[in-house]
Amino acid sequence: MKPITILLVEDNEGDILLIEEVFEEASIINRLAKVKDGEQAIRYLKKEGEFRDVGRPDLILLDINMPRVSGHEVLVFIKNTPGLASIPVIMLTTSSAETDIIKSYQNHANCFITKPIDPDQFVGAIRKINNFWFQLVKLPSGE
């Protein structure tokens, strides 16, 4: 199995720690790159500044409600940028608003997951993401 890089775009430190813990437990991900807002995510994907030497992520976990640039804006950037558009994007958010769900899919999100409030259920959801996206699905190798 080739090394997997996930870009986690998340501003909640507690959620970051839980996600790191689950992926570490799974032992299949070589790199979990983290940025804390949409502006950093776009700079990471453009390989600007401190991100100039990063590789293309295989999967993006994207929160919606973030400072500076929203997850919806980041999603539009990704899906409208040649070389990035084929990266699967999972909207992983506290929102369960129908407008956020519709907008995410209209902008070509690959799936939309509402973060469970209960920590055990949240860990379970991350494990399911791991099982589906890294054990069942074949990810693109890049454009």
Domain 5-136 fold is Rossmann fold (3.40.50)
- From the list 56, 26, 15, 12, the residue with the least C-alpha distance to 132 is 26
- Answer for the pair 23, 6: CB distance below 8 angstroms, yes or no: yes
Q: What is the mean pLDDT of the chain?
A: 89
Q: How far apart are CA 94 and CA 125, in angstroms?
A: 13
Higher pLDDT pick, 23 / 143: 23
Whether 123 shows a pLDDT value over 60: the answer reads yes
| Pairing label, strands 31-35, 89-93 | unpaired
The pLDDT tens digits of the residues spanning 14-32 come to: 889 888 887 777 666 668 8
| Domain boundaries along the sequence of the chain | 5-136
Whether 139 shows a pLDDT value over 80: the answer reads no
Whether 1 shows a pLDDT value over 80: the answer reads no
The pLDDT tens digits of the residues spanning 63-72 come to: 999 988 999 9
Instruction: Give Cβ neighbours of residue 43 (< 8 Å, ≥ 6 apart).
Output: 35, 49, 50, 51
CA atoms within 13 A on the CB side of 127: 7
